[in-house]
Amino acid sequence: MYVQKSYVLKPNDTEKKWFVVDAQDLVVGRLASRLAEVLRGKGSAQFTPNTDSGDFVVVINADKVKFTGKKWSDKRYYWHTNHMGGLKYRTAQEQLTKHPELILMNAVKGMLPKTSLGRKQLTKLKVFTGSEHTHAAQSPTALKI
């Protein structure tokens, strides 16, 4: 009797591609879910959940993203200073003026696995606020969102 074995992807068997995404006028959540899918490699035929098989993504114009509804004033980004009573927050509008790249980074981070593999996959996301990026040497191709 023939038993078909499932394919297990090894980390060295993947060839990482580079993509560039223009985030201008795109909704944050919808963009982040697509970026998380590419970072994990779920679109490839050889997807293996326990292997880093995703591609690199460069996001430009991250300061021109959009939210739906009243999220600019109601959404809050929390962090702790590690001191007593040190819980701080910023609204999405304040976060856009101080650290606009963190809006997209936090959204994608929440959609990746909460493991060491997810942290490794998040390092393949490069976010830039302007229309220029420093990864031209990798010759990234445009990713349609």
pLDDT digits (tens, 9 = 90+) for 41-58: 998 888 889 999 999 999
Structure tokens at 37: 């899918």
* Ordered structural domains, the chain, with CATH: 17-66+99-142 (3.90.1180.10)
Question: CA 56 → CA 28, 77, 103, 106, 135, distances in Å?
Answer: 19, 26, 19, 17, 10
Please report which confidence band the pLDDT of residue 28 belongs to, taking 50, 70 and 90 as the band edges: very high
Q: How far apart are CA 115 and CA 33, in angstroms?
A: 18
One DSSP character per residue, 109-133 reads HHHS-SSHHHHHHHTTEEE-SSS--
pLDDT at 7: 77
DSSP 7: P
Q: How far apart are CA 31 and CA 111, in angstroms?
A: 11
Q: How far apart are CA 98 and CA 102, in angstroms?
A: 9
Percent of the chain with pLDDT over 70: 99
Strands (E), the chain: 18-22, 56-60, 76-80, 87-91, 125-127, 141-142
Q: Is 145 a residue whose pLDDT tops 90?
A: no
- Model pLDDT for residues 79-105, shown as the tens digit of each residue: 999 999 999 999 999 999 999 999 999
Give the type of residue at 37.
Answer: E
Q: Is 10 a residue whose pLDDT tops 90?
A: no
Q: How far apart are CA 13 and CA 43, in angstroms?
A: 16
Among 38, 28, 32, 54, CA closest to 111: 32
